[in-house]
């Protein structure tokens, strides 16, 4: 791949920012050391493909920093985002050779990778990894299912509010902020990417964001910086004040 470079210094796993959430979260020191031996870092530039759908996958790995998307495409070009990749999320499926989706770096992305074969044999020998991977996969399945009701049953306005509340809550949890009081964050996605996530057109996304702004549900500085004065109001607009689950 052209738009990718190796990072020279191997970071120490103990100091890794995703140490406690990634697939290696449960590993003991000696297990970490074994992973350290087979890991390598890769950097992907914003906009570049990490993996092409249908290509042979010879590695798996965790997102260390940056944001990526999992995208599916129909023959006539319609696309649907089927997942957001955030730091600590895992890419690649043990036991499968071909990628089922396009993986695209939305921002610059740094990944901690393992060649597939060595990782699979570690997986077979290390229950701590296998358990954590099962747990993460179950969480992703729940998130995917929670997203289905957004795609299938929510109005455009509710879809936008749902996405904003997910991003707001994730951002709050990343920065250890409480979700009471005003929240502010940057949108990591273009209008088009939001449209692909929500099953809308980019024009509809733009209109609904304008409408939420007009109604005082959100405030905008520039195109990307969002302030939510009242999180409860936003979640009400999303159609489920209970929760919504995903990516919390």
* Contact set with DNA (CB under 7 A): 155-157, 187, 190-192, 199-207, 209-210, 220, 223-224
Contact partners, residue 235, CB within 8 Å, separation at least 6: 161, 165, 241, 244
Kindly indicate which of the ranges 39-47, 143-151, 182-190, 208-216 contains the residues binding its own copies, using the contact rule CB under 8 A: 143-151
Separation CA 66–CA 213 (nearest Å): 27
Separation CA 51–CA 102 (nearest Å): 6
Separation CA 212–CA 90 (nearest Å): 33
Considering the complex, what minimum distance in angstroms separates the CB of residue 202 from DNA? 6
Q: What does the block give as tokens for 136?
A: 């993460």
DSSP 8-state secondary structure symbol assigned to residue 84: E
Question: Which of 19, 34, 49, 93: binder of its own copies (CB under 8 A)?
Answer: 93
Among its own copies, DNA, none, partner that 133 touches (CB below 5 to 8 angstroms by kind) = its own copies
- How many C-alpha atoms does 187 have within 13 Å on its Cβ side? 23
In sequence order, what are the beta bridge partners of 104?
49, 69
145-204 binders of its own copies (CB under 8 A): 145-149, 151-153, 198-199
Q: What does the block give as tokens for 187?
A: 């949108």
Kindly indicate which of the ranges 104-112, 165-173, 209-217, 236-244 contains the residues binding its own copies, using the contact rule CB under 8 A: 236-244
In sequence order, what are the beta bridge partners of 85?
68
Kindly indicate which of the ranges 60-68, 91-99, 206-214, 215-223 contains the residues binding its own copies, using the contact rule CB under 8 A: 91-99
Of 39 and 157, CB closest to DNA: 157
The contact mask relative to its own copies for 108-127 (x = CB under 8 A, - = no) is: ----------------x--x
Among its own copies, DNA, none, partner that 137 touches (CB below 5 to 8 angstroms by kind) = its own copies
């Amino acid at each position: 791949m052209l738009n990718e470079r190796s990072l020279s210094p191997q970071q120490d796993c103990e100091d890794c920012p995703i140490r406690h959430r990634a697939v290696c979260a449960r590993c003991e020191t000696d297990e970490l050391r074994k992973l350290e031996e087979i890991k390598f870092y890769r950097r992907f530039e914003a906009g570049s493909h990490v993996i092409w759908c249908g290509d042979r996958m010879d590695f798996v790995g965790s997102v260390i920093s940056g944001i990526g998307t999992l995208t599916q495409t129909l023959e006539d070009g319609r696309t649907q985002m089927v997942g957001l990749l955030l730091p600590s999320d895992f890419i690649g499926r043990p036991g499968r050779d071909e990628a089922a989706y396009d993986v695209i770096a939305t921002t610059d992305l740094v990944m901690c990778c393992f060649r597939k074969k060595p990782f699979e044999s570690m997986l077979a020998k290390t229950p701590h990894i296998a358990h954590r991977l099962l747990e993460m996969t179950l969480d992703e399945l729940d998130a995917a299912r929670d997203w289905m009701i957004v795609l299938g049953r929510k109005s455009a306005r509710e879809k936008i509010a749902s996405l904003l509340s997910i991003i707001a809550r994730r951002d709050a949890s990343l920065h250890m902020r409480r979700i009471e009081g005003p929240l502010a964050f940057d949108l990591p996605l273009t209008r088009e990417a939001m449209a692909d996530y929500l099953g809308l057109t980019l024009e509809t996304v733009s209109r609904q964001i304008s409408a939420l702004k007009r109604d005082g549900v959100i405030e905008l500085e520039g195109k990307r910086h969002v302030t939510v004065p009242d999180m409860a109001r936003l979640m009400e607009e999303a159609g489920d004040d209970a929760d919504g689950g995903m990516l919390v």
